Structure 1
């Protein structure tokens, strides 16, 4: 679970990246889940757009992909959303520490 500071930091990083995947009319398929899983392992932060011909809204698609890949939803805005998951092999993004 991300804190608000961590989420804000990740939103600032995601601002400069382009959407690398699209959720189309077929929705969240196993193939899309697998490719997003691999991209999260390599990049840790991915932006995905939802096409207008999709039956799912961006929030629903984000929730489905996040639960199926073990990622956290950073942001849902317009027809795009951002997912984050720390890499198990080589972490790239260092999140701000959690204060207790």
Structure 2
């Protein structure tokens, strides 16, 4: 799925007040964590995911894996927090053109 820069800016504004809904633990990115991300995306469409990994390259690899596995769109990365968007089957959010 592709989003334009204007749509990304809109999503960043909506994501600003959100708190992370998924926090990766010591086991990293597991099937259970991916299942929770899927549930959160279907319910909220726009979520924040906290990845407490210290190694920057490893953290980026985890972000890439999350985006690939969920078919979501990486809206923004702020520190150790990924902002992810994927429209639900019945979209609640209307993006600008």
What is the TM-score with the length of structure 2 in the denominator? 0.89
Which structure has more helix as a fraction of its residues? 2
Residue number in structure 2 paired with 1:92: 92
Task: Give unmatched runs, 5+ long, in structure 1.
Answer: none
CA distance in 2 between counterparts of 1:53 and 1:6 reads 30
> Do the aligned partners of 2:46 and 2:83 also contact (CA within 8 Å) in 1?
yes
Paired residues for 1:16-95 under 5 Å: 16-52=17-53, 56-57=58-59, 59-88=60-89, 90-95=90-95
Question: CA separation in 1, counterparts of 2:47 and 2:55?
Answer: 19
Unaligned runs of 5+ in 2: none
* CA RMSD of superposed structures (Å): 1.6
Partners of 1:33 and 1:65 within 8 A in 2: yes
Deviation at 1:54, TM superposition (A): 7.3
Larger RCO (alpha carbons 8 Å, 6+ apart): 2
Question: What's 2:10 paired with?
Answer: 9
Find the residue that maps to 1:48 and give its secondary structure. Answer: strand
